[in-house]
Homo-oligomer: A and B are copies of this chain.
Amino acid sequence: MTAKPQPSPTSAPREAPTDAEDEQFLASYDPDAFAHPSLAVDVVILTIRDRTLRVLLKPRAQPPQRGRWALPGGFVGLDESLDAAARRVLRRAGGGGAAIVEQLHTFGARHRDPRHRVVTVAYYALVGADALRGIDLLPTVSFPTVDELSVVGPDGAEVRLAFDHHEILSVAVDRIRSRLGEGRIGFELVGERFTLRELQDVHEALLGAPVNKDSFRRKMLASGHLAPTGEYEHAVEHRPGELFRVASGSIG
């Protein structure tokens, strides 16, 4: 495949600045001179309640797409880094204590917002079981198949998300699953002290599928991420398991 001569640049509806031209362009560039896309962040805030994965959403009160559920989001300030914007949105939504906040992907399809051009940088956050206390309305993320994902509201009915938020949620879950495989994640969704079973519950909720108990135990104990406390859970109706905490020098 040899580089062919470029077709005439008229194929593009608008003239976009070229690489070489950027140099001059920027020299005299007035950032407000022409309209660029607006830039927002949306945050997928996940937690686990009753052994099931929950996502923080709110039904839209105004059209367009009134009644659909949307991720918390906000616009990026001119003097604010993307990460700072994401943390601000997260804090305002009630997930201030999240242990993990990571950039996910940037969504920039042309008509993802029907009103005007908004490009959104999506983040995901994992919030401990204790946080989001005030919030009752946490839709459940369920997995009809391993690859498919559906969101169920508090009334048990399936929930339709606004804009491309369903896709954003999908990408978030995919990303978290692959992070799980790398062993660098999962501790955020469990208390400060936890049993191996509780940690396994977290993994299963995120994966939407059971994991092999034996191999999970071995892998975790061999990972060095767990520090045994010597204490055991109590008031459970079976043999109590040992309580662990995250090993110092590990993650989180």
Contacts and interface: CB of A to CB of B under 8 A. Distances in A.
Given A76-B108, A81-B109, A117-B78, A58 B7 contact: no
A37 interface: yes
Given A17-B70, A73-B19, A115-B14, A3 B131 contact: yes
Most B CB within 10 A of own CB, among A66, A81, A91, A131: A81
Interface stretch (A21-29, A150-158, A198-206): A21-29
Given A35-B31, A92-B19, A81 B65 contact: no
Interface residues of A, number: 86
Given A13-B79, A110-B80, A18 B40 contact: yes
Interface of A: 1-7, 12-24, 26-27, 29, 31-32, 34-40, 42, 58, 60-66, 70, 72-83, 85, 88-89, 91-94, 96-97, 103, 105-110, 113-119, 121, 128, 130-134, 162-163
